Amino acid sequence: MFESAELGHKIDKDTYKQQVPGLREALLDAQFDLAQTRKFPVIILIGGVDGAGKGETANLLNEWMDPRHIHTEAFGSPSDEESERPSMWRFWRALPPKGKVGIYFGSWYTEPVVKRVYGETDNEALGYSLEEIVRFEKMLTDEGALVLKFWFHLSKDKQRERIHSLEDNPKTRWRVSEMDKRHLKLYDKFRDISEHVLRETSTAEAPWIIVEGFDANYRNLTVGKHVLEAMRKRLDNPESRPHVSIAPPILTPVDNLHIINTLDLTQKLDKAEYEKKLEKYQGKLNLLTRDPKFRALTTIVVFEGSDAAGKGGSIRRITQAIDARSYSITPVAAPTEEERAQPYLWRFWRQVPRRGRLAIFDRSWYGRVLVERIEGFCSEYDWMRAYSEINDFEEQLAGNNTVVLKFWLQISKEEQLRRFEERQEISFKRFKITEEDWRNREKWDAYQIAVCDMIDRTSTSHAPWTTVEAEDKNFARIKILKTLCDRLEAAMKELPE
Amino acid sequence: MFESAELGHKIDKDTYKQQVPGLREALLDAQFDLAQTRKFPVIILIGGVDGAGKGETANLLNEWMDPRHIHTEAFGSPSDEESERPSMWRFWRALPPKGKVGIYFGSWYTEPVVKRVYGETDNEALGYSLEEIVRFEKMLTDEGALVLKFWFHLSKDKQRERIHSLEDNPKTRWRVSEMDKRHLKLYDKFRDISEHVLRETSTAEAPWIIVEGFDANYRNLTVGKHVLEAMRKRLDNPESRPHVSIAPPILTPVDNLHIINTLDLTQKLDKAEYEKKLEKYQGKLNLLTRDPKFRALTTIVVFEGSDAAGKGGSIRRITQAIDARSYSITPVAAPTEEERAQPYLWRFWRQVPRRGRLAIFDRSWYGRVLVERIEGFCSEYDWMRAYSEINDFEEQLAGNNTVVLKFWLQISKEEQLRRFEERQEISFKRFKITEEDWRNREKWDAYQIAVCDMIDRTSTSHAPWTTVEAEDKNFARIKILKTLCDRLEAAMKELPE
């Protein structure tokens, strides 16, 4: 894999001087078009061996292009706000919006590689991380990002030569750290593991570009031309990403037996029983959220359901039991301008709370496979891939001591009509039924199919769906409170003392 | 000041039960109107003595209103990302956008009060903090925010009674902390200092509302009615905030001698001299930004100047000398949707970097007193108050080990014309002169007046303006680089070893 990057590539001074002006001009033009059209973001990853010109390359791109539209970031140790969230959170928050260029050092590759080299993880754990990375990058490219991954390579001899020459020069001595010297000793191990990593993560959408790092002229021209060609290709062929799914269609069960029509919507709780249980579970929830162990967890509760299914009322039965300082509620509406310039899940990632807090989502990322699917707001390909992207998101949350609860509130079509009519009689404007509610109601059957697909495809062991028979509000509220208590209790038991 | 809150206010159960339903209804209606119109944000501060119902009140408002549009926050110890910025940064980042309600515990009052009670600060330092707070709240109300400040009071006897009764009940014992008991001993001191604080910070725009906290019914009705009346008044009289300045007009000096026309624009550097100095100061800047002390500072560099004055080129001479991982550039364009829902300075506060980084602003918060003033994008009152708001902002930055540099690049009207014409001949589209550039040029004189006012009113010892004679690009670039080096060097010398 690294053979071509040990050939001693070199560009002489004259050729370099002759080629650079035109290249810079073209790069600036491409960047200008990108900033004007805001068609996509450019994500440039910089990896490779020490001394092979990683920092120099980032500086070069900032010099050759307009640095005002480039964001360069090296990820050091995570801040406390970062370490309380899943490890990918800090990469999500650093993603460039459409129209901008982001240059990232090491990035999501650093931790898996370094941990494997130092023997803190085994091949299996590394493989798992790499699969996660491949899916993450696939999501980025599916969302339209141009992902360019540069790996700067030096042969063992050249690396030694480079580090010693940096050390010998008083002006550059500071650049050689103890870690560099330690890494030099681990060269062979690094090389083997890097080769494995590059092989596993070189995909059609985001291939690695390996660059021999010894000769600066060669390195600079290679990187500059790659960035230019890649940007130009995407700018001039904006429709290159797949919008038509080649997946076979999802069919409903041929006997029409599905998860929703197996629900027993006749289940009820009478008022006396309801009030007894409400007090019991609200009291329990209150105690649980005051337990010191609660502060070691993050809790995320998702509410989905048809219009008038009782989401708002159920949410209030939860918040009544909890100190207002411990929860937040995100009502999911149309994305803002900043959110539209980012991948679909970005606006939910930014709402992931710190430890010890409970975040409630009134509607959620599942809008992608419900309303957006049914209304055609995104392509079939986009909502098809959303299932696995959502599963990845929730798996990362769950892997970070986050309890993820998802409630689907189901009522019958008749009950919805009854509630709509009841609301129309009410004088409070905030409960008025809108034209849109009636329009959604016409698509009842399509929604039911989408809901069944959603539950089938995203109910996982780490983030299961709870279907809630919501025909009777009392029954629904108690089921939700009890489920929340049970899940919290179980999660707290699993925590170390 | 607290006399009326020690009278033993009480509301009997029947009156309470009779009044609450209507109040809740009206509150929900007001909140609905607020969310629909997004006219202003509501900022509710909750302060007062322990055991007087602060937490209960926040929970109550969340229960009575729609919790999906309320954000409740208690500020604990700052995270590391927060402690690397000025202390107000975390309050800025928590401000509710227009249409939402934010409930804040303690907030910006906690630190000044607690520090004074414990004797860590003197009256003078407290007074200084309170002045800052008054100006901050004035800015909020000027920006249209509805600021409601509730202070919950208990007499000494009642506080003791409340804390003991909480302690006696096993269900509420957890709520009494060691700190509460310590505070009880300091009651008189707390009372004196609180009274002083309330007096100094009760303004016409944001008066304190003191509520006796012993009887929950009285407390709840009082708070609910205050919130309702205040929201209703603002919703029904949207034009209640001042838009017309009553300030006397700012006149230009009657002899027409001002800071801009004293600049000697004939200053030049020939190419050889320029290249020598460029190498010298870029080398120096490089060394300075690699000094460990640089990591203890934050550096903010603002570029303002007329079109074609050479801001971009000057910025590049700085970034060329610095590792791309150490700087960021924010080109200031039109605010986004999220930014428009916040006070004017919010979008700049969010760009304040962590320690050890240099943030460059290509145009800045000074747009308020330049383009917005001249184009009439904001009212006279708005740009007039911007001077002191900006001074406060920069003073807070400077107080937090931030080096604030501000460059005004000045060219002559003739030189601008020459550069415009030169650019029109250039084939690169990114340098094309737009209609807007020509339109701005027609307002040359108005801009000059605005620039002089800006420099007069915002050049302070902690954040001075550097006027740059930019007729000759070489001269300008070297002056900027040298100023930056000098300021960094001086700031690093002042740091403790």
Partner-chain contact B67 A428, CB within 8 Å: no
Residue B61 · residue B227 · CB < 8 Å: yes
**Among all residues of chain B, which has the CA nearest to that of A331?**
B68
Give the strand order in the sheet containing A42-48.
Answer: A70-74, A101-105, A42-48, A146-153, A208-212
The kind and range of the H/E element at A47 are strand A42-48
Q: Give strand ranges (E) for A138-233.
A: 146-153, 208-212
Distances (CA, A) of A23 to A34, A223, A228, A297: 16, 11, 8, 52
Region of poorest pLDDT, from A302-306, A326-330, A425-429, B306-310 = A425-429
Q: Tell me the CB-side half-sphere exposure of residue A161, using CA atoms within 13 A.
A: 9
Mean pLDDT for A98-107 is 93
- Model confidence at A242, pLDDT cuts 50, 70, 90, reads low
3-class DSSP assignment, residue B496:
coil
Predicted pLDDT at A245: 58
Predicted pLDDT at A168: 86
- In 3D, which of A291, A359, A365 has the Cα closest to residue A319? A359
- In 3D, which of A445, A413, A456 has the Cα closest to residue A307? A413
Give the strand order in the sheet containing B146-153.
Answer: B70-74, B101-105, B42-48, B146-153, B208-212
Partner-chain contact B325 A362, CB within 8 Å: no
Residue A469 · residue A264 · CB < 8 Å: yes
Which tens digits make up the pLDDT trace of B351-364? 999 999 999 999 99
On chain B, the residues whose CB falls within 8 A of the CB of A317 are none
Numbered residues of chain B with Cβ closer than 8 Å to any chain A Cβ = 25, 28-29, 32, 55, 58-59, 61-63, 66-74, 79-81, 103, 105, 174, 290, 312, 315-316, 319-320, 323-325, 328-331, 336-338, 362, 428-430
Q: How far apart are CA B272 and CA B270, in angstroms?
A: 6
A72 vs B67, B315, B324: nearest CB: B324
Distances (CA, A) of B196 to A464, B191, B316, B331: 55, 9, 51, 44
A324 vs B69, B72, B429: nearest CB: B72
The low-confidence residues of chain B, meaning pLDDT below 50, are none
Q: How far apart are CA A39 and CA A341, in angstroms?
A: 9
On chain A, the residues whose CB falls within 8 A of the CB of B315 are 67-68
On chain B, the residues whose CB falls within 8 A of the CB of A103 are 324
Partner-chain contact A62 B362, CB within 8 Å: no
Q: Supply A250's token pair.
A: 């999802």
Predicted pLDDT at A416: 96
Partner-chain contact A55 B328, CB within 8 Å: no
Three-state SS string over B81-149 comes to: HHHCCCCCHHHHHHCCCCCCEEEEECHHHHHHHHHHHCCCCCHHHHHHHHHHHHHHHHHHHHCCCEEEE
The kind and range of the H/E element at B304 are strand B298-305
| Other C-beta atoms lying within 10 Å of the C-beta of residue B438 | 11
Residue B224 · residue B14 · CB < 8 Å: no
Predicted pLDDT at B432: 76
Q: How far apart are CA A166 and CA A53, in angstroms?
A: 12
Q: What is the DSSP letter of A335?
A: P
Q: Tell me the Cα Rg of chain B.
A: 27
Distance from CA of A1 to the nearest CA of B (A): 29
Predicted pLDDT at A172: 74
Amino acid residing at A181: K
| Other C-beta atoms lying within 10 Å of the C-beta of residue B155 | 19
Q: Tell me the Cα Rg of chain A.
A: 27
Predicted pLDDT at A29: 93
- Model confidence at A387, pLDDT cuts 50, 70, 90, reads very high
Mean pLDDT for A66-81 is 91
| Other C-beta atoms lying within 10 Å of the C-beta of residue B14 | 8
Q: How far apart are CA B34 and CA B56, in angstroms?
A: 24
On chain B, the residues whose CB falls within 8 A of the CB of A430 are 28-29, 32, 66
Q: What is the DSSP letter of A321?
A: T
Domains of chain B by range and CATH? 3-240 (3.40.50.300), 260-494 (3.40.50.300)
- Model confidence at A249, pLDDT cuts 50, 70, 90, reads low
ipTM: 0.85
| Other C-beta atoms lying within 10 Å of the C-beta of residue B199 | 11
- The pTM of the full predicted model, rounded to 2 decimals, is 0.88
Predicted pLDDT at A77: 86
Q: What is the DSSP letter of A107?
A: G
Residue % of chain A over a pLDDT of 90: 75
Which tens digits make up the pLDDT trace of A259-269? 888 899 999 99
Numbered residues of chain A with Cβ closer than 8 Å to any chain B Cβ = 25, 28-29, 32, 55, 58-59, 61-63, 66-74, 79-81, 103, 105, 174, 290, 312, 315-316, 319-320, 323-325, 328-331, 336-338, 362, 428-430
